A = this chain, B = another copy of it.
Amino acid sequence: MVVSREKKAPHQVVIVGGGFGGLYAAKALANANVDVTLIDKRNFHLFQPLLYQVATGTLSPADISAPLRSVFSKSKNTKVLLGEVNVIDPKTQQVILGDEIIPYDTLVIATGANHSYFGKDNWKEFAPGLKTVEDAIEMRRRIFSAFEAAEKETDPEKRRAFLTFVIVGGGPTGVELAGAIAELAYQTLKEDFRNIDTSEARILLLQGGDRILPHIAPVLSKAAAESLAKLGVVIHTQTRVTNIENEIVTFKQGDELTSIASKTILWAAGVQGSALGKVLAERTDVECDFSGRVIVEPDLTIKGYKNIFVIGDLANFSHQNGKPLPGVAPVAKQQGEYVGKLIQLRLQRHTLPEFHYTDVGSLAMIGQNLAVVDLGFIKLTGFLAWVFWLVIHIYFLIEFDTKLVVVIQWAWNYITRNRRSRLITGKEAFLEPQTVNNSNNSQIPEKKQPVKL
């Protein structure tokens, strides 16, 4: 028997991407009189703002993830599909998922952004970025392996390279990574090693512009920079990275060119819209901006297609104040909710005024008892900002999961500076390669030798 889905529910909404945009769009449509198909490459939604805490050993990936199927377990009109959409055909109204063709009446594209190395893709290998759980695990592996390798290293110069951490990019992710690594080196790990003094670690934060956290008020940038400096982070502003090779980063500050040996170079600089933006641009008249984001209309649809929405980090929405809204979770979330609402209203022959982003403020964690919060009407720094950051994140995590115990654990870990999740897992490449000797022909020195220290 061939089941025709069109007869069962009048309107097919296909949402590509289960990040904040896609998740909140689907939530807004849960149990509405439409069929929703939510497609994602992964089987979980990721609370990305806390991913840096996975990378620095405070949280486990599952602590900041929600399985998409369990989120929509009770929404019987919502179907979750796992896979990657590479092809969209706006003319025939369908997306292709592997060998499956999925027709839509309304399409919501929310596939977000990826790292951008500004054309220098060969830097990627030496300076990993932070977008996925795997990225975070890899970053964690590199950070903790660097301390381990330093503990073993006898050559002072090499040891220094192991204890040098360079973070490229002074946005929220770069600032939060730098702060967390500084806390690791100067506080958490201080007692744990016997040969090295972890407080000899150098943490460099390189920023292209003239201040870190350029999206918040200058007074808060300044406060953040001061807090980071107090933690021990060395900030270089107006600094452009000119080359990254294996273990060496070169940067230019004014006319001065500096090369630094570092085994742990982390990328928190550029992002670009995901590939589906370009696919869309090729098949419609829509345009992408220089970083691959799709220019959207005031109602978040694309030019010429009232039934295709692009939201979140992939969208360039410049109708509010002339410049694009930032690629942050609250924008994606509000856009998702807007689209979900608009789709339902349209089916009742109503509509909504154009999308308007309600700025909920910006905040960045720097370290224990240190954060900056910019709510526009109020600006906080230091301990008060830190408490505010904590409360806001607890609030969002509860909304996100409702598993209060997870939130308590998280807050507890955070407050007690627990770094329990500092497992070095996955490939072991970063540690000195161990020669696997066959025990029969291995060379054993005849005499007892002193331990190398």
Chain B positions within 8 Å of A194 at CB level = 76, 79-80
Pair B193/A69 contact, Cβ less than 8 Å: yes
Pair A408/B406 contact, Cβ less than 8 Å: no
Q: Choose among B61, B100, B134, B439 the residue that contacts A152 (Cβ–Cβ < 8 A).
A: B100
Q: Choose among B74, B98, B144, B403 the residue that contacts A435 (Cβ–Cβ < 8 A).
A: B98
At the interface, yes or no: A33 with Cβ under 8 Å from chain B?
no
Pair A425/B87 contact, Cβ less than 8 Å: no
The docked-state distance in angstroms from the alpha carbon of A43 to that of B151 is: 13
Pair A86/B449 contact, Cβ less than 8 Å: no
At the interface, yes or no: A234 with Cβ under 8 Å from chain B?
no
Pair A412/B405 contact, Cβ less than 8 Å: yes
Chain B positions within 8 Å of A96 at CB level = 437, 442, 444
Chain B positions within 8 Å of A434 at CB level = 83-84, 86, 97-98
At the interface, yes or no: A423 with Cβ under 8 Å from chain B?
yes
Pair B152/A448 contact, Cβ less than 8 Å: no
Q: Choose among B3, B87, B437, B452 the residue that contacts A439 (Cβ–Cβ < 8 A).
A: B87
Q: How far is the CB of A397 from chain B (nearest CB, A)?
A: 12
The docked-state distance in angstroms from the alpha carbon of A61 to that of B437 is: 30
At the interface, yes or no: A102 with Cβ under 8 Å from chain B?
yes
Q: How far is the CB of A152 from chain B (nearest CB, A)?
A: 7
Pair A82/B44 contact, Cβ less than 8 Å: no
Q: How far is the CB of A428 from chain B (nearest CB, A)?
A: 8
Chain B positions within 8 Å of A3 at CB level = 453
* A58-93 to B contact mask, C-beta < 8 Å, 1/0: 001111011101100110100111111011010011
Pair B69/A101 contact, Cβ less than 8 Å: no
Pair A44/B133 contact, Cβ less than 8 Å: no
Chain B positions within 8 Å of A403 at CB level = 418, 420
Q: Choose among B65, B193, B451 the residue that contacts A5 (Cβ–Cβ < 8 A).
A: B451
* A203-215 to B contact mask, C-beta < 8 Å, 1/0: 0000000000000
Residue with the greatest number of chain B CB neighbours at <10 A, chosen from A94, A403, A436, A439: A439
Pair B134/A92 contact, Cβ less than 8 Å: no
Q: How far is the CB of A145 from chain B (nearest CB, A)?
A: 8
* A449 and B94 contact, Cβ closer than 8 Å, known pairs A44-B423, A152-B81, A423-B43: yes
Q: How far is the CB of A71 from chain B (nearest CB, A)?
A: 10
Pair B448/A67 contact, Cβ less than 8 Å: no
* A65 and B4 contact, Cβ closer than 8 Å, known pairs A94-B448, A434-B84, A444-B96: no
At the interface, yes or no: A341 with Cβ under 8 Å from chain B?
no
Pair A89/B444 contact, Cβ less than 8 Å: yes
The docked-state distance in angstroms from the alpha carbon of A79 to that of B452 is: 13
Q: Choose among B87, B92, B401, B435 the residue that contacts A99 (Cβ–Cβ < 8 A).
A: B435
The docked-state distance in angstroms from the alpha carbon of A170 to that of B408 is: 37
Pair A70/B423 contact, Cβ less than 8 Å: no
Q: How far is the CB of A370 from chain B (nearest CB, A)?
A: 23
Q: How far is the CB of A290 from chain B (nearest CB, A)?
A: 20
* A192 and B99 contact, Cβ closer than 8 Å, known pairs A134-B425, A412-B405, A445-B92: no
Among A122-176, those with CB < 8 Å from B are: 133-134, 137, 144, 148, 151-152
Pair A43/B92 contact, Cβ less than 8 Å: no
* A446 and B43 contact, Cβ closer than 8 Å, known pairs A101-B451, A189-B69, A409-B406: no
A-B contact pairs, 11 of them (CB 8 A): A43-B148, A67-B420, A67-B422, A67-B423, A70-B192, A70-B419, A76-B194, A81-B151, A92-B446, A96-B437, A401-B420
The 3 closest A-B CB pairs, nearest first, are: A60-B60, A62-B421, A69-B192
- Chain A contact residues, CB within 8 Å of chain B: 2-5, 42-44, 60-63, 65-67, 69-70, 73-74, 76, 79-84, 86-87, 89, 92-94, 96-103, 133-134, 137, 144, 148, 151-152, 189, 191-194, 278-279, 282-283, 401, 403, 405-406, 408-409, 412-413, 418-426, 431-432, 434-437, 439-440, 442, 444-453
